[in-house]
Amino acid sequence: MPHFSVHIREEALDGTVEPKLIRALTDAVGAVYGEGFSRLVAVDLIGVPQHRRGIGGVRTDKDAPVVTLSMREAAYHLAEVPDAPARLVAAVVDAMAGALGEHIRDEVVVTVEGVPDGRTGVAGAVA
């Protein structure tokens, strides 16, 4: 199951942007893997309080979203989805800029994590 964790300045989450971000990130995965995959996407939006974010050792008030996408390692190597990690990074940055505005495009950091087979579970069972 693809899982997004998005750390972003709390003030950027104003009650209207959250549904846009959730939909945009879900659609980003669907754009790479197909719409059927979208139903599996989970998104957690984590607000970072003001004055608790730093970049390069310096406190910043930039929104500077840090996005982590975790899913099974094998999904990044499917023959039918060439260059999946690069396509996902591009789609995620596009999704974030679409939901929050173009001004954040250069601030978005995306990490794509692969989880080895046998190390995830759903409903109490290893998947």
Q: What's 46's domain CATH number?
A: 3.30.429.10
**pLDDT classification of 60: cutoffs 50, 70, 90:** confident
Cβ distance 75 to 34 under 8 Å? Answer: no
**DSSP code per residue over 55-104:** ETTEE--S---EEEEEEEGGGGG-TTSTTHHHHHHHHHHHHHHHHH-GGG
- Dmax over CA atoms of the chain, in Å, equals 44
> Is pLDDT of 15 > 90?
yes
Q: Is the pTM of this model over 0.85?
A: yes
Per residue, what are the HEC states of 52-66? Answer: CCEECCEECCCCCCE
What does the block give as tokens for 44?
Answer: 């957690």
Q: Which helix (H) or strand (E) holds 22?
A: helix 17-33
Lowest-confidence range among 34-43, 55-64, 86-95?
55-64
- What is the pLDDT confidence band of residue 123, given thresholds at 50, 70 and 90? confident
Mean pLDDT of 55-63: 87
Contact, 91 vs 31, CB < 8 A?
A: yes
User: What's the total number of domains in the chain?
Assistant: 1
| Cα–Cα nearest to 100, from 23, 3, 30 | 23
Cβ-contact 93, 108 below 8 angstroms: yes
Closest CA to 111 of 97, 94, 92, 98: 92
Answer whether residue 56 shows pLDDT above 90: no
Domain range holding 96? 3-126
